[in-house]
Amino acid sequence: MGMTIYSCALALALTLSSPWWLWRLATSERYRAGLRGRLGGVPAELAKAVEGHKTIWLHAVSVGELMAAERLIAELQKTLPGWVIAVSTTTATGQKLAKERLQGSPVFYMPVDFAYSMRRYLRVLQPKLVVLMESELWPRMLTECERSGVPVVVVNARISDRSFPRYLRLRWFWGPLLEKVTLFLAQGDESAERLQKIGVDLHRIRVVGNLKYDRPPEQRSELVEALRTRLPVESELIVCGSTLEGEETEILEAWVRLMSTGHRGVLLIAPRHPERFAAVMRLVGPGVIRASEWLRSPKPLDLADVMVLDTIGNLAAVYQIANVAFIGGSLVPKGGHNPLEAARYGVPVIMGPSYENFREMVEGLKAVEGIYIVENGNLTLALHQAMTRGRAVGRRAREFFDAQSGATERSVGALKDLLEKARVL
């Protein structure tokens, strides 16, 4: 009954929103990309790539989940030679990054969560295992995997502060669906406890740690090398990563105040969503430097310059040379983004008060005094503190990061054990 209600609700939602979708399809290439595959048409190249091979279907919704899964995929390929790890994403940015970084894996768009589309993909892929990253629980997908006898594992599993109350309210719906998941590999004890509270049996939960602590360091990029040699000698580089609407104005105001008090630096703003690049550049105003254009003919930067990072996949590398990092999505009530990309390099990290999406991670950093949290909306003060005495904070953050490693090895071991029990190895 629950699945009937879900399928009808999904169909109704798509029908009612169809004028908006048709408009987006007509005006944006991003929405047309992979449309046939999303609607259930399995790409021929995907079918060819998996033919004759044992396959694992791994789904990572977007860039963050994909980057967390990158090393896991590499280790699975080493552990299971001859197997194919087929990777689906939901967003265009995730699709682009997956194709760039996962040369040994076929990449495709996640189909709409209807029975006919899921059955087609399961019929072609014939996966021995489905791996879902973090909190990607699709009801129809779980149902069709159970019907096909395909085990499902949620890796790097977490339940955010925002979604936890919804799971509790809809436990009547989610309870039976969660029973279809073979194993949850949780990021930490809090996530494990929340999974139990929403109806997951303890024997199907294993705490293995957070894969994001195991990501390999970013290789030097062309942009990083250009910045290294063209930043003013006496300046600092302040990187504001994954910013959302409403944050850039506050950042720029804090930046102007800092420059008026004698600080010297270059500000780099990396909007979270590519469709906002142009809007952020207009907000900065005359003199803004667009990273993609600057990189074609890099010129020395001046003190107080502001650059907008309008490329995909360079932010993590840029953190290597940052003197201070602000992590976006945290000044506005959006739950924040991953602070570890900067913390791993010993960079003093600043976040706003909204960090519930990464609460376990941030609370761990706070416990060792390895992060600055903006208080009373005073971003200027937090930036000043990080710029003047943040070195020790950055060092403690890096030590915390180094102490958390090992989740990838434990996750691969758990997946291999499951495949052995299923007698498919």
**Unique residue bearing structure tokens 């599993």:** 157
pLDDT at 96 over 80: yes
d(CA 400, CA 403): 5
Instruction: Calculate what percentage of the chain has a pLDDT beyond 90.
Output: 70
Please check whether residue 374 is in contact with residue 352, taking contact to mean a CB–CB distance below 8 angstroms: yes
- Global pTM reads 0.79
Q: What are the strands of the beta sheet with 84-89, ordered from one edge?
A: 107-109, 84-89, 55-59, 129-133, 152-157, 183-186, 205-207
- 65 labelled catalytic: yes
pLDDT at 17 over 80: no
Please check whether residue 256 is in contact with residue 228, taking contact to mean a CB–CB distance below 8 angstroms: no
How much is the average pLDDT of 240-246? Answer: 97
d(CA 250, CA 379): 8
How much is the average pLDDT of 168-196? Answer: 92
- The confidence band for 39, taking pLDDT boundaries of 50, 70 and 90, is confident
The reported pLDDT for the residue numbered 103 is 84
Tokens coding 125: 């892929």
Please check whether residue 245 is in contact with residue 280, taking contact to mean a CB–CB distance below 8 angstroms: no
User: Higher confidence at residue 219 or residue 336?
Assistant: 336
- The confidence band for 16, taking pLDDT boundaries of 50, 70 and 90, is low
The reported pLDDT for the residue numbered 360 is 87
- The confidence band for 20, taking pLDDT boundaries of 50, 70 and 90, is very low
How much is the average pLDDT of 102-121? Answer: 93
pLDDT at 21 over 50: no
pLDDT at 4 over 70: no
Amino acid at 72: L
C-alpha of 272 from chain center: 11
Please check whether residue 66 is in contact with residue 60, taking contact to mean a CB–CB distance below 8 angstroms: yes
pLDDT at 359 over 70: yes
pLDDT digits (tens, 9 = 90+) for 123-148: 999 999 999 999 888 999 999 999 99
Please check whether residue 171 is in contact with residue 199, taking contact to mean a CB–CB distance below 8 angstroms: yes
pLDDT at 28 over 80: no
pLDDT digits (tens, 9 = 90+) for 189-202: 999 999 999 999 99
| Nearest in space to 365 (alpha carbons), one of 404, 329, 335, 316 | 404
How much is the average pLDDT of 258-265? Answer: 90
How much is the average pLDDT of 320-348? Answer: 95
How much is the average pLDDT of 378-388? Answer: 95
Please check whether residue 196 is in contact with residue 190, taking contact to mean a CB–CB distance below 8 angstroms: no
How much is the average pLDDT of 45-51? Answer: 96
Please check whether residue 415 is in contact with residue 153, taking contact to mean a CB–CB distance below 8 angstroms: yes
Question: In this predicted structure, which of 150-154, 181-185, 399-403 has the lowest mean pLDDT?
Answer: 399-403
Q: Which of 29, 51, 65, 144 is catalytic?
A: 65
Please check whether residue 39 is in contact with residue 112, taking contact to mean a CB–CB distance below 8 angstroms: yes
3-state helix, strand, coil in the chain (%, to 5): 50, 15, 35
Instruction: Calculate what percentage of the chain has a pLDDT beyond 70.
Output: 92
Q: For the chain, first and last CA: distance in Å?
A: 36
Mean pLDDT of the chain: 90
Distances (CA, A) of 94 to 70, 110, 226, 273, 276: 12, 11, 26, 11, 17
How much is the average pLDDT of 178-206? Answer: 94
d(CA 339, CA 349): 7
d(CA 84, CA 105): 7
